[in-house]
Structure formats: structure tokens, C-alpha cells
Amino acid sequence: MVRKRLVVSLLWRNGVIVQSVGFRHTNVVGDPKVAIEFFNAWDADEIVLLDVTRDAGRPERFLAMLHHVSKHCFLPLTAGGWVADVARAQLLLENGADKVVVNTRGFDEPAFLGELADKFGAQCVVASIDVRGQDRETWQVAVDRGRRPTGVDPVSAARRAAEHGAGEILLTSIDQDGSLKGYDLDLVRTVADAVDIPVIAFGGVGDWRHLKDGIDAGADAVAAGNIFHFTEQSTRAAKTYLIDAGAPVRPR
Amino acid sequence: MIGVIDYDAGNIRSVLNALEWVGASARLIGQTAEMDECRGLVLPGVGAFRSAMDELEATGLADGLREWASHRQRPLPGVCAGMQLLAARGEEGGACDGLGLANAEVIRITPVAPARVPHIGWNEVVRYRDAVLWGPRQQAFCYFAHSYAMTFGDPAERSRWVVGETDHGGAIVAMIEHGNVMGAQFHPEKSQKDGLAILRNFVEAAERW
């Protein structure tokens, strides 16, 4: 059986990697190339790079960065942010991405996910779903970098994305983001149970134990950002924790 | 010189980067005429089976690859969807003939809970028998990302071709090799040291082929 993945999520804004709390960007962490070199060497299983620059992103600069960092990155690299047409997805792939993350346009027009899947295959299309709220009564998908609440519940959004051709769901709890309190486990469990495609949990990891909790809740991959920065060999320590805790991850 | 078949979609650069990392000089090959100077050719995987075959047929690369495999007799590894294109037929995007170098079909993986489809992530590849791609290695952990898989109707053909398998709700053909035609369903260029070792085995074999 395929192993559970340890995913590093890097938020790129105007040329630097930043930390995020509740989708507000806080500290600048540093240079993307250095970050990727470290995580490539430290037993991470996948890297997600998102252009979170406000106001239309920095498409050319992001591409140049991707092209540069992917040269020596021999683990899967997933990229997104401001992907609103097939041409942009193709540019990301040509510049080193293995998979493309789609958020707002995939929600507003799910047929766009199908268009991407027809061209690149479903395994290449990651539907990103950002969720506001802390329990099933209040959960709702928010798009446009979390600023536009939609009133749609995450299960319907995930099912619809899968039906239209998404190959994976990147599920982020905005409320947990940066909280260090762990994933919204009920959200992870609910969405993972509702779809047949893999689900990546994201938002809130403050302790290695939270990664194990996400796996136990049914996530196929567990992502974190903030916690991996500023610590030597952070992903290696996380992987060691997961192995010792008996999680079915790729051995070191 | 290792050639990487360029048919205008997807992440071909990763394959090029990884080949250079393991010491090969590599370049993109967009026309049959450019194949001559290559010691080996990698067919990377891009998009759906049918659209990829349409592109290969339209550019003449499909015939070039068939000719290369049967007459040149130099190594031709397919990677991910590129391995699938070596088969006789595929069904992704509508039934369609493949390159016909392996007597196999490519069909959708049926999800068997708790396995999810697409099969995405790192999985163990178990060695079935000796192969150039394996070298001395006995097993590998590699990165997979696919919804379709190669199947052999005839058990004799299967044992002639399959050199490595993985498990995801059932056995999945992970590595094939028969003479100079070979392939990996996973992405060796994205499988860190295990994948790079497999690519290095191919590059070294191509040099002395």
C-alpha cells in the first residue's frame, strides 16, 4: 500500500518564503532555494510551493524561481497560486512542477478541473479547498485567498472537485492555520471519508504528534509549513517521530 | 548522449535534470532525425494516453521510436505514462493504439478500499527478477502518480516483461524490461536516491550497449 506522505508547504510571497497565521502572512523565513535544498535532503516526501502574493501574484517571478529550485529537487514538487487557465498550469509544469494546485477557479467553475485533467491527467490536478469555521455547523469553503466565504460545505466541494477530475484534495483549515493546535481532525476525517481520491491535510501543526493525528484521522498526506522553518533537520525529525510512532510512512 | 523525447506537454525538465545529475549529457529530442546521435532514449510521461499518442504519431516520433526499438536496439526506457505508451493499447481519453512494443494494455486502476485512486505517493517496488534498471539493488521506494496501469493478459508475456511490482489494493506493474525496451511506472527522477540509482543504471547501460 502506498505510504503516507510528509509534505512541506512553502508559501512564496514577492520572492521570499513567509509564515502564515489565519492566512495572514507574518515572518519572512527566507530564500526558497535554500529551503528546498534542505527539505530535499531531510526526508520530506513532497514539497508544495504556493504563490500567495496578493493582487494577481507575481507570475513571471514565481516561474523563474520554480525553474531555478526544481533543478536539484528530486522529490515531487507541487505548485500553485493564481492558476486560472490551462496555459498557466502548463507553464508551471514546464518549469519544474509535477502537479498543479487550483483553488478559486476550480471552485467557481469545476469544469476547469476537468479541462486540466483531460490535458495532464487527474494525478496532476490538486484541488485546494480552504475552510473557515471550527465544526460541522460552521464549516464553509472560502475562496480568493480565504477572503470570500461561499456558504458551501467542504464535503460538497470536495466531492464536486473529485467528480470533475481533481486527483487530490489539499484541505486547509483557515481557523487552524498558524494556531499550532493541530489539524481540524473532524474536518480531515469527514472529507477523507467522503471522497476516493487522496486528501492532504494542512493547517495548524505545532507538534510532530499532530502529523500522526492527521494520518490517524484518514489523511493520505500531512502537510505543515511554519513548524518546519527555523529548525535544523526539521523534516528528518518529523519523519523519525512518525516512524517511531508506527505511522506507515516511507522509511528513511 | 541521452535523448529525452519532447512532445510538448508536462514536466520533461525533471527527467533532463535528473539525467544530468547522474552524469549523463542529455538533450531534448523533438524529431526522429535527432535520435541518431543518442546512446539511449527516454520517453517521459505526459498527459493522457490518447492525446500523447496523437502527438507522437502526428510528429512522426512514434515511428521513430518503433524503429529505434526494433532496429537500433539501444535502450528505450519509458517513464510513468511514457512506460504505458510502450503497450499495445490504452483506454485513457478513449481507446487507442500505443507504440505496440509490449504486448500489454493500459487500463484504469479499480479502487479497492482503503486504496485510493489516483495512486499518489511513495510505494515499495519489489524486485521480480534481474534487470539492467535494477542493477544490484533489491528493492526501492519510489514516487508514483497515476490512475492507469499496465496489464498483461498472457502470463508468459507478463513474466517476460515485468521486473518489479508494487502493491496498492492489488499488484501493480511498476517496472518492465525486455531486451532494450524498459520502463518505470513511478517517477525515478522524483524518487530521490532510489530513483536516481535506477536512472544511473540505465545511463551506464546505454554507454556500453
CB A243 within 8 A of CB A251: yes
Within-domain flag for A251: no
Q: Can you tell me the distance from the alpha carbon of B70 to that of B75, in angstroms, rounded to the nearest whole number? A: 10
CATH of the domain at A211: 3.20.20.70
pLDDT value, residue B9 = 57
Asked if A96 is an interface residue toward chain B (Cβ–Cβ < 8 A), one would say: yes
Give per-residue pLDDT as tens, A103-125. Answer: 999 999 999 999 999 888 999 99
% of chain A with per-residue pLDDT over 70: 100
Do the chains contact at A74 and B117, CB–CB below 8 Å? no
- What residues of A are in contact with residue B92 (Cβ under 8 Å)? 121
Contact residues, A window 201-230, toward B, CB-based 8 Å cutoff: 220-221
CB B160 within 8 A of CB A84: no
Within-domain flag for A252: no
Measure A248 CA to nearest chain B CA, in Å. 10
Q: Can you tell me the distance from the alpha carbon of B117 to that of B169, in angstroms, rounded to the nearest whole number? A: 10
pLDDT at A231 over 80: no
- What residues of A are in contact with residue B106 (Cβ under 8 Å)? none
CB A158 within 8 A of CB A193: no
* Predicted ipTM of the assembly: 0.95
Within-domain flag for A188: yes
Q: How wide is the angle at C-alpha B41 spanned by C-alphas B39 and B43, nearest 5°?
A: 175
Pairing of strands B2-5, B40-42: parallel
| A-B C-beta contacts closer than 8 Å | 120
Within-domain flag for A64: yes
The Cβ of residue B95 has, within 10 Å, a number of other Cβ atoms equal to 11
Give the mean pLDDT of A22-27: 85
Rounded to 5 degrees, what are φ and ψ at A166? -65, 145
CB B12 within 8 A of CB B69: no
Asked if A94 is an interface residue toward chain B (Cβ–Cβ < 8 A), one would say: yes
Within-domain flag for A19: yes
Asked if A76 is an interface residue toward chain B (Cβ–Cβ < 8 A), one would say: yes
Structurally, how many domains does chain A consist of? 1
Model's pTM, two decimal places? 0.96
Give the mean pLDDT of A229-241: 87
Pairing of strands B171-178, B102-108: unpaired
Within-domain flag for A250: no
Q: Can you tell me the distance from the alpha carbon of A73 to that of B56, in angstroms, rounded to the nearest whole number? A: 28
Give per-residue pLDDT as tens, B182-209. Answer: 999 999 999 999 999 999 999 999 999 9
**Active-site residue, B189 included:** yes
Q: Can you tell me the distance from the alpha carbon of A143 to that of A150, in angstroms, rounded to the nearest whole number? A: 7
Task: Report the residue of A6, A40, A43, A74 to disrupt the B interface, i.e. the one with the largest count of B CBs within 10 Å.
Answer: A74
Give per-residue pLDDT as tens, A125-177. Answer: 999 999 999 999 999 999 999 999 999 999 999 999 999 999 999 999 999 99
Do the chains contact at B120 and A1, CB–CB below 8 Å? no
For residue B59, count CB atoms less than 10 angstroms from its CB and return exposed for 0-12, middle for 13-18, buried for 19 or more. middle
* Residue range of the domain that includes A72: 5-244
Q: Which domains does chain B have, with CATH numbers?
A: 2-208 (3.40.50.880)
- In this complex, the residue of A3, A121, A122 whose CB is nearest that of residue B121 is A3
Measure B60 CA to nearest chain A CA, in Å. 21
pLDDT at A57 over 80: no
For B1, the 3-state DSSP assignment is coil
Q: Can you tell me the distance from the alpha carbon of B204 to that of B167, in angstroms, rounded to the nearest whole number? A: 29
Cell output for B174: 511498476
Do the chains contact at B11 and A93, CB–CB below 8 Å? yes
